[in-house]
DNA sequence: TACTTACGTAAGTGTCAACTAATCAAATTT
DNA sequence: AAATTTGATTAGTTGACACTTACGTAAGTA
């Protein structure tokens, strides 16, 4: 999971992900969209691949990459859980605090 | 927004966030939970602060930090939009592909 | 079998960032 | 006011990583 977060932390990899969502593309095709060399894209793709965010399909000398929805979903679920815990906890704390304030006010009467 | 993603990409900062959700803590108190020096924590806190993920409350010589739910919510919403676009697009493409296959099969009859 | 195409991998470089030790700043206490 | 406490900030180091150039490799082509 840490690998997934690390992978999407890099802006260029998010851009690449955005490209291969629409259609599967080869490394060269992806590279042509950016101002970087092909090897740089290859390296990003291997990061995305090992993070489970893209899939690879070989066809002759070509290698087509495509976004893997399950990978994105896993990350989304992880973060949603993270946030749910934190946000609900914050909410409870805020309410408890509010209650304490009221009690103090009552006591001061 | 990029600053927010960058901020939570670092594991230690996620840990710190987890701590200051439960209750507001000073830099020293946070540092005592980890095997790093106070300055290191201070630096992480300034990153979290400028990303809008924590708030600061000064009280005498103390400075208390606390998770800022709005910051987390913003990030969650951003990513949810990102995913919604990508996942729904992927779904549509998958369905369209499925349809194409069927048509081919029908044509072959 | 040589040649080309489409890639990945290796090696090297520059930059960024996480960290520590040392210093500086502001509020509190004596 | 001097000393203490609580932190942030600075300088410097180290490691990670995004990138390029050069090379290796596997699948088609002449």
Query: Where does residue A100 rank: exposed (0-12), middle (13-18), buried (19+ CB within 10 A)?
Result: exposed
In a domain, B59, yes or no: yes
Model confidence at B28, pLDDT cuts 50, 70, 90, reads: very high
For residues A37 and A17, give the distance between their C-alpha atoms in angstroms, rounded to a whole number. Answer: 17
Instruction: Give B45-98 pLDDT, tens digit per residue.
Output: 999 999 999 999 999 999 999 999 888 788 778 777 766 666 666 566 555 555
Q: How far apart are CA A62 and CA B102, in angstroms?
A: 26
Q: What is the CATH number of the domain that holds A75?
A: 1.10.10.10
- The proportion of chain B whose per-residue pLDDT surpasses 70, expressed as a percent, equals 74
Instruction: Please state, rounded to an integer, the average pLDDT across all residues of chain B.
Output: 83
Q: Which nucleotide is nearest to B65 (CA to C1')?
A: D7
Q: Say what the pTM is.
A: 0.80
A47 pLDDT more than 70? yes
Cα Rg of chain B (Å, integer): 22
**Per-residue pLDDT at B94:** 57
B78 lies in a domain? no
Strands in chain B per DSSP E: 25-26, 54-59, 62-67
B38 within a domain of the structure (yes/no): yes
Q: How far apart are CA B109 and CA A43, in angstroms?
A: 45
> Do the domain assignments include residue B52?
yes
In a domain, B82, yes or no: no
pLDDT at A104 exceeding the cut of 60: no
Q: With a 7 Å cutoff on the CB, does B45 touch strand D?
A: yes
pLDDT reading at A87 higher than 70? no
Region A54-79 average pLDDT: 89
Residue A109 pLDDT class (50, 70, 90 cuts): very low
Quick check: A100 contacting B, CB < 8 Å? no
Å: B100 CA to C9 C1': 38
Across the interface, whether the CB atoms of A5 and B2 are under 8 A apart is answered no
Domain assignment of residue B28, given as a range? 2-69
Does the pLDDT value for residue A62 go beyond 60? yes
- pLDDT (0 to 100) of residue B109: 45
* Tokens (6 digits) for A86: 């934190």
Tally of structural domains, chain A: 1
């Amino acid at each position: 999971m840490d690998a997934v977060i690390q992978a999407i932390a890099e802006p260029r990899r998010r851009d690449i992900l955005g490209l291969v969502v629409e259609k599967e593309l080869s490394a060269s095709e992806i590279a042509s969209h950016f101002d970087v060399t092909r090897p740089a894209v290859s390296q990003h793709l291997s990061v995305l691949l090992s993070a489970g965010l893209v899939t690879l399909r070989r066809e002759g000398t070509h290698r087509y990459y495509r976004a893997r929805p399950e990978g994105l979903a896993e990350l989304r679920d992880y973060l949603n859980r993270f946030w749910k815990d934190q946000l609900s906890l914050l909410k409870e704390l805020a309410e408890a605090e509010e209650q304490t304030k009221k009690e103090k006010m009552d006591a001061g009467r």
